[in-house]
Structure 1
Amino acid sequence: MRIFENIKIYEMKELKKQNVAFGLLILLFFLGCKNNKQNTELASLNLLRGELQLCGNGQFGDVSFSESCSYETRKTFNLAISLLHSFEYIEAEKAFVQVIDEDPDCAMAYWGVAMSIYHGLWAPPEPSVLKKGVKLLAIAEKLPKSKKAEQYIHAIGDFYKDWETVDNQTRKELYSQKMGEMFNDYMDDTEVAIFYALALRASAIPTDKSYSKQRAAGKILQDLFQEEPNHPGIAHYIIHSYDYPELAELGLSTARRYADIAPNSAHAQHMPSHIFTRLGLWNESISTNINSASSAVCYAESIAPGSHWDEEVHAMGYLVYAYLQIGENEKANEQYAYLKSFEKIFPPNFKIAYTAAAIPARIAVENKNWEAASLLELPQIPGMEWEKFPWQQSLLHFAKALGSIHVNNLIEAENQLTLLKSFREELKDLNDSYKANQVAIQIETIEAWVEFKNGDVKRALSLMRNAAEMESMTSKHPVTPGEILPADELLADMLLKANKPIEALDAYELNLKRRPNRFNGIYGAALAAKESSNNEKAIFYFESLLDLTKDSNSDRPEIREAKEFLQPNS
């Protein structure tokens, strides 16, 4: 009997083992199905993969993100966050994808990729990007996660959700509101506060001259910066929050720190020049943009030898602007010649289009070389589809219209005016009211100068004052160091030509308050003071012009004029 009992016990144990094994097979089958489905979903996303290309020693600042997943991927996750905070978007996505490949159940890694393709301060994302974000967050939703991770995912989800029916600005505001709720829930979490501040800044509208959201974001970040002085995101977003003439002084000390925090980021090297430009600190702007361009060249060579990255081009745009303000025409022209030598630029986007149109336009009109301005043509940039960028095209055609007016070719000026109006309508159709308004200011300006040339000074000044008022009511776009020519500076030029030097001086001084140390603003103020018989101010402004250009090799005639005036008046 005991033998049979032992056999029965043995058979029961074997059956139990078989059941366990079968259960495991069933579980593995379902997990396999789940993983296969997840892998299929991932394969459709066109995620960026590959070895990270980090020039220098890979220093991008100090970050410790609480919601990273496994211990093994934490270092890579924190690096990805650091890269994201300096807008090194390509490498940030690759780093987050490395985390996904090692830990496919890390929901926050999918959030990280969705954040890497969301460029809130720049242009609205293309539909392909929005679709990718929706798919990423759908995967993240299905994965296990903490409450805080879930809140992060739901917050950015509000930006991607309903993108086909809800406009970009509304979705940015929804994202900002959700991050605000998180900020209230986790007051002591540095990263929550930083991402909230960025979302708040990104949701600000350009026509709000109170800068309420920018000030609020800046206050949050400045308080954090005292505790974490080596955090790249804090420094970076302080600069973006204060990138306005009225606020720039608040960001100066941070601007002088950021490049040292993330020395291997081309964007981190460039960003301080936004504040330097607002304050007219041209030599500091030149230095930081030379470093930025060099870092960008290193990055481009590491991934596509012989090509040029958009961050290099972006830095070049600010370089040219700064060179022109200290009279360094030769160096500005060298940058333009260098740009025209590029055979491959990646990616061909709005930043490249802006710089490629602005550089030749600036070189011509800042020097009042009206003949050159009247002959401007869009440069042939590899891969650039100009028809996609009506605002950027308008910059060059605005300069061409001004040039045509000053060389008395009013027929061509009218042709350019017609073109500008078509750009404005195109931007209206795209629901891009900000850029449409920028082109409207250009149109008003050109119409003013056409009237002036035709002898109707009263109407010309009325139109020009309106253009200056329109421009004063709107903030600059983050991509630009400044207008091709400021409207209030052009108003001052017109007043001077209309033999109203006292009014012209007031307009030049207002322009210099908003845009310190502009070469033409200082020279114009000196000339207006001289013609107003205000010898004291004429001496001050001519001396300021010489001081502005003392370290340059400029041959501009305005400098010779300043020296000639000051010689008997010194």
Structure 2
Amino acid sequence: MNKIIQIATVAIIASSTLLLSCRERTRPMLAKEISAINLKTGDVVLCGPDDKSVGKVSFIISGDTGIVKQFNFAIALLHSFEYDEAEKVFAQIIKRDPHCAMAYWGVAMCNYHPLWTPPEAPELQKGNRALEVARSIEPKTTRESDYIKALSAYYNNWERADHRTRCHAYEAAMKALYEKYPNDREAAIFYALALDAAADPADKMYTKQKKAGQILHGLYASLPNHPGIVHYIIHTYDYPELAELALPAAQRYASLAPASAHAQHMPSHIFTRLGMWDESIQSNLASIAAAKCYAESAGMRGHWDEELHSMDYLVYAYLQKKETKLAKAQWDYLNTFSEVSPPNFKGAYTFAAIPVRYVLENRLWKEATQLTTTPAGFPMEKFPWQRAIIHFARALGFVHTSQLDSAKTELAILNQLRNDLLAKKETYKANLVDIQIKASEGWIFWKEGNTAAALEKMNQAAQMEDKTEKHPVTPGEVLPARELLGDLYMEVKQPEKALEAYQSNLETHRNRYNGLNGAAKAAGLCGKKDLADYYTRQLAFVTAVKNTSVAKVK
């Protein structure tokens, strides 16, 4: 008997030694894998009220109370697209408990950013590595495994499968998760986001968006302080036909997550759709102040891209109120920028759009011909769609200053940029440039005296744009094609057609200054005095001076 006990004891000791040995071998291996992810680390940087509120989230995971609280803070940041800061919090959780599988899922979510530009290779590598670690960790709950598996559907085969294909795969995986856990509100919210990300830009029935909206509105009453719900409602209804549905969320989001610069800006998407220029101005002034604070507090080199993004929306709103000096001040300020972090599509769009908006909205044709395409220190050559915006403005400028050879040179550049985008399979952006090509051709024909061809091309441009949703980066086209069609009808002395074009454009581009002004003039030329007076009164209301000051953000 004693011998049996001795043997058992030896076996237990051997087993314990082996287990300890395995753990000792596993620990440095996991440390190596964590190091390979290259996590963002450091103090979390937020600007705003002293409590640094970003809303309230309750995402159930395994772990002690402290980790759960930290995780929910990270999820709240994630829901406001504060990706860098959210990743820092997930990294802190991993440092505290390397076996918290859902923290690695969080890192992968931070590198997906579904409603912006697709992740680049380094982000995809990071997200994929994080999920590999998450899948390898045991124990974890079945629900946690399902979340990790669902997100893996996006990262799987990322080297070969295109972004949209993987978005659809993730949407399908999240649908399964949502249906498996009907009481999991976070699953519902992330599924709604996946629906928005997978929505077809050409679907004018907004099938996926309406489904997402139904889910989010069903949760809103019981979770009024959840940042993801109000944020995604805004994105879900960021369309002219649906924008009214998001107004309550837009009016709430900034106060719900005051420490997020993006939360300060996001309501202006809906304010812009509804032509609420004073509200848009307030929203973007607050966002710019928060973005400046963030860049300074984070020790960022240059200006944060979120500041530039809000500046474009701000300039757009100023121009609709005919606040020309304030708009020009933003352009002058932009010209002082020597560095942007990160140097991405948002910065490229702002560098192109602000000067173009200013000269085109104010019909400064000579100044349009002098616009440059190379902002100091910014890699504009990487962004053909954004460069095309400047060449479009130059083309119109040369047409209106009777320099047709130069206008045709700009047209040739637009064609080349369109072809470059097609070669990269960026068909959506290529289509946007094609609209500019058709419009440029129309105005060149007009200057050449070929009215029929001019109107044909400009109508084609307007019809194409009617079928194309704007990109989320922009508050609107630098000049809406149907409004530009109205301008052309005015030039060829067809005010009835011009009025029709202006009115049609105002249905989807509410309270635009040039649209209202054009409609008033066209109605007057048509002898429709009451209608001309209506648009004149509307113009006076839109341009009425209101208080556009904003409290400083800490």
TM-score, normalising length: structure 2: 0.95
Secondary structure of 1:464's aligned partner:
helix
| 1:23-172 to 2 correspondences below 5 Å | 23-56=15-48, 57-144=51-138, 145-172=140-167
Distance in structure 1 (CA, Å) of the matches to 2:214 and 2:394: 42
| 1:213 counterpart residue number | 208
Task: Please state if 1:536 is matched with 2:530.
Answer: yes
- 1:232-270 CA-partner distances (Å, limit 9, x unpaired): 000000000000101001101110011111011000010
Q: Name stretches of at least 5 consecutive residues in structure 2 with no aligned partner.
A: 548-554
| 1:492 counterpart residue number | 486
Q: Cα–Cα, structure 1 residues 379 and 286, in superposed 2: closer, same or farther, change >3 Å?
A: farther
Question: What letter corresponds to residue 200 of structure 1 in structure 2?
Answer: L
| 1:225 counterpart residue number | 220
| 1:511 counterpart residue number | 505
Bigger CA drift: 84-93 or 160-169? 160-169
Q: Cα–Cα, structure 1 residues 412 and 149, in superposed 2: closer, same or farther, change >3 Å?
A: same
How far is the alpha carbon of 1:501 from its aligned partner? 0.2
How far is the alpha carbon of 1:414 from its aligned partner? 1.0
How far is the alpha carbon of 1:64 from its aligned partner? 0.6
Considering only CA atoms, is the larger Rg found in Structure 1 or Structure 2?
1
| 1:333 counterpart residue number | 328
| 1:180 counterpart residue number | 175
Which of 314, 318, 321 matches 1:319? 314
Which of 454, 461, 464 matches 2:455? 461
Distance in structure 2 (CA, Å) of the matches to 1:23 and 1:340: 69
Contact preservation (8 Å) 1:358, 1:484? yes
Contact preservation (8 Å) 2:62, 2:141? no
Task: Please state if 1:256 is matched with 2:248.
Answer: no
Q: Name stretches of at least 5 consecutive residues in structure 1 with no aligned partner.
A: 1-7, 554-570
How far is the alpha carbon of 1:345 from its aligned partner? 1.9
| 1:366-385 to 2 correspondences below 5 Å | 366-382=361-377, 384-385=378-379
Secondary structure of 2:202's aligned partner:
coil
Task: Please state if 1:417 is matched with 2:417.
Answer: no
Question: What letter corresponds to residue 214 of structure 2 in structure 1?
Answer: K
Contact preservation (8 Å) 1:69, 1:108? no
Distance in structure 1 (CA, Å) of the matches to 2:185 and 2:101: 20
Q: Which has the higher contact order (CA 8 A, sep 6+)?
A: 2
Distance in structure 2 (CA, Å) of the matches to 1:154 and 1:52: 28
Task: Please state if 1:444 is matched with 2:438.
Answer: yes
How far is the alpha carbon of 1:14 from its aligned partner? 8.2
- 1:9-59 CA-partner distances (Å, limit 9, x unpaired): 6x9988876664543332222112222222111111211011111223210
Distance in structure 1 (CA, Å) of the matches to 2:146 and 2:11: 41
Contact preservation (8 Å) 2:60, 2:68? no
Question: What letter corresponds to residue 156 of structure 2 in structure 1?
Answer: K
Task: Please state if 1:479 is matched with 2:473.
Answer: yes
Q: Cα–Cα, structure 1 residues 456 and 312, in superposed 2: closer, same or farther, change >3 Å?
A: same
Percent identity of paired positions between Structure 1 and Structure 2: 48
TM-score, normalising length: structure 1: 0.93
- How many residue pairs get matched? 544
Question: What letter corresponds to residue 361 of structure 2 in structure 1?
Answer: E
| 1:355 counterpart residue number | 350
Question: What letter corresponds to residue 388 of structure 1 in structure 2?
Answer: K
| 1:559 counterpart residue number | none
Question: What letter corresponds to residue 458 of structure 1 in structure 2?
Answer: A
| 1:295 counterpart residue number | 290
